[in-house]
Structure 1
Amino acid sequence: MTPLDIVKQYYAYFNQQNWQGMLSLVHPEVRHEPNQGEARIGLDKFREFLQLMDESYEETLTEQVFFTASDESPRIATEFVVNGIYKKGEEGFPEACNQPYVLPAAAFLEVRDGKISRVTTYYNLPLWIKLVS
């Protein structure tokens, strides 16, 4: 599979809520750079993040577009719309009561050794807070 194929499959797994499938495409030394906060390094930290996301949010990505210099380029960017439900509150965020939200977002990924080695995600956090408040 090309790096682009790997990233597309990763997001297909995301929309299927197939966390094991996602993890199978992630490099053991993955660097996950969230919109806010410190980077998470390693598969265990990424697995913990996915578990928290599964408990707190139900999300599907639509209108996804991928950008890359070529199918073989190790760096891929993607733009999408997050269609979500806020199920369980997190510290420092509004209380959760299954509020729906629709939010534009983007991510930058890098593939190394046939696995996703970096995921950097961006979205408008103040807009998300407004949507769920």
Structure 2
Amino acid sequence: MADVVKRYFEAFNAKDIDTMLGCLSEDVAHHVNEGGVRRGKAAFAEFCDHMSRCYDETLTDMVIFDAPDHGRAAAEYVVNGRYVATDDGLPEAIGQTYQLPAGSFFDVTDGLITRVTTRYNLSDWIRQVS
């Protein structure tokens, strides 16, 4: 189970959205920090396109936790980013850099991710880019 999560994050750092999508089930549930639930690969791909336009991020200090008997995994990491285009309702982007601890939680079935939940401190991010 940790293998698919590791592949997912390696693809994230490589900015390889197609490989990220290949790690997901067709009906993946994507629980977005401070947002709703997006369902399906198409919605996830749209989210990735939006994020790629507004943010340039790399994840470091990755630790992956695995609970295969329960079909779950988690990861803790540091987001190292640059805010490159203003996102709706957020401060203006002028290339600010930020560093933010974050975590993601996964359900995995038959080797594919069926749920992704990502959490970080939005107030801390806003403080860093304001």
TM-score by length of 2: 0.96
C-alpha deviation, 1:69, in angstroms: 2.8
Q: Name the counterpart of 1:41.
A: 39
Q: Name the counterpart of 1:32.
A: 30
Q: 1:21 aligns with which of 12, 16, 19?
A: 19
Matches within 5 A, 1:1-133: 3-70=1-68, 73-133=70-130
C-alpha deviation, 1:73, in angstroms: 5.0
Q: CA RMSD in A?
A: 1.1
Question: Any runs of at least 4 consecutive aligned residues in structure 1 with deviations exceeding 4 A, and if so which?
Answer: none
Q: CA–CA distance in 1 between the matches of 2:28 and 2:86?
A: 26
Letter in 1 for 2:26: P
Q: CA–CA distance in 1 between the matches of 2:47 and 2:6?
A: 20
Give the unaligned 5+ runs of structure 2. Answer: none
| Same amino acid, percent of matched pairs | 45
Aligned residues: 130
1:83-133 alpha-carbon deviations (Å, 9 max, x no partner): 000011111100001110000000101111221110000000000000011
